[in-house]
Amino acid sequence: MATTDLYYPDDSERGVAERSPSGHLRLAPQPFAPQPSSERSEVIVDLTCDPPAIEFRGRRLVLDETRPLPKAERRRRIFDVTAAGFGLVVSAPVIGLLWLGVKASSRGPGFYRSARVARDGGQFEAIKLRTMRVDADDLLPQLLATDPLARAEYERSAKLTNDPRTTALGRVLRKTSMDELPQLWNVLRGDISLVGPRPCLPDEPDRYGAALSTVLRVKPGLTGLWQVSGRSDLSFDERVVLDVEYATTRSLGGDLRIIGRTIAQLLRPHRHGAY
């Protein structure tokens, strides 16, 4: 028996893997804090096929690293530029008013800029309306070190349900996803696409393990399967599976369906996973 994990390859305490006689690698992720058995799912990495595949909750996804066809990429880029340009024109007054609200309600800049991992492993600067205190990044290590429950939740989903660093206006912006409106500029610049895998932080790629190269072959997105499938209520492992599913099955028609589901969720009075 070997001690490892698909998404946490450098942490020997988070997963136990056993190679079966057939050559499969079976992984049972061990969360930071104990969770009910109903919330834990086994991930199976099939090393017998080329390319490898992962199995998770009945899904089988091939870790395909083939680049998208140039013609399809051009169509997608035309769609992104057209939709993002129109969205920026329409939402500019709203973004301006919200920027003033952020500035007036808490100390610090109206926009928050943060490094994210781009396609092929580069980096870009994502821009959002600021929803947290200006010292939020400095406070996180201290918060996780002193609150075991918060640390357990952050290890599981890389999010905090009741984050004390979030401002009063920031909670409203996050609940409605209006803090992400400025990222239409990132779409227009070509940093991200309207639909794609969730942009990850610079310290998160190692958690993707064998799935990383598959996810990074496409641009991250402003919305995607993760956003319409539970958002922050999902574990990080589930997020990776959804990112792989999108990267290996995406189409312009599928993107339009995801955009439609995103709009439908934004109009719901009670949205799960938005915090």
Q: What is the pLDDT of residue 79?
A: 94
Q: Which pLDDT does position 97 carry in this prediction?
A: 97
Query: Tell me, what's the pLDDT at 32?
Result: 29
Same domain? For 170 and 76 the reply is yes
Q: Are residues 26 and 94 in the same domain?
A: no
Q: pLDDT at position 65, please?
A: 56
For residue 107, what are the domain limits? 70-266
Q: Can you give the three-state secondary structure of 51-71, one letter per residue?
A: CCEEEECCEEEECCCCCCCHH
**Is the same domain home to 104 and 207?**
yes
Among candidates 170, 169, 174, 240, which has minimal Cα distance to 204?
Answer: 240
Of 62, 81, 104, the last residue of a domain is 62
Is residue 196 included in any domain, yes or no? Answer: yes
Q: Where does a domain end: 28, 62, 96? A: 62
In a domain, 274, yes or no: no
Residue 272 maps to a domain: no
Are both 173 and 76 inside the same structural domain?
yes
User: Is 140 part of a structural domain of the chain?
Assistant: yes
pLDDT per residue, tens digit, the chain (275 aa), is 233 334 333 333 333 333 344 333 333 333 323 333 344 445 455 544 545 555 655 556 656 555 666 788 888 999 999 999 999 999 999 999 999 999 999 999 999 999 999 998 899 999 999 999 998 888 888 888 888 888 888 877 777 888 888 999 999 999 889 999 999 999 999 999 999 999 999 988 888 887 888 899 899 999 999 888 887 778 888 888 889 889 888 888 999 999 999 999 888 766 555 54
Phi and psi at 156, nearest 5°, equal -80, -45
Residue 38 Cα to chain centre, angstroms: 23
- The answer to whether position 273 is within a domain reads no
The domain tally of the chain equals: 2
On whether residue 251 sits in a domain, the answer given is yes
Buried b (16+ CB within 10 A) or exposed e, 208-232: bbbbbebbbbbbbbbbbbbbbbbbb
Query: Is 235 among the domain residues?
Result: yes
Domain check: are 104 and 156 in the same one? yes
Do 151 and 205 sit in the same domain of this protein? yes
- Indicate whether 275 belongs to any domain: no
Note whether 58 and 89 are same-domain residues.
Answer: no
Note whether 51 and 185 are same-domain residues: no
109 plus 23 within the same structural domain: no
**Same domain, residue pair 116 and 154:** yes
Task: Look at residue 73 in the predicted model and tell me its pLDDT.
Answer: 86
Of 62, 86, 103, the residue at which a domain comes to its end is 62
Q: Is residue 230 located within the same domain as residue 248?
A: yes
Q: What is the pLDDT of residue 21?
A: 40
Q: pLDDT at position 193, please?
A: 96
* Predicted TM-score (pTM) of this structure: 0.72
Q: Are residues 58 and 152 in the same domain?
A: no
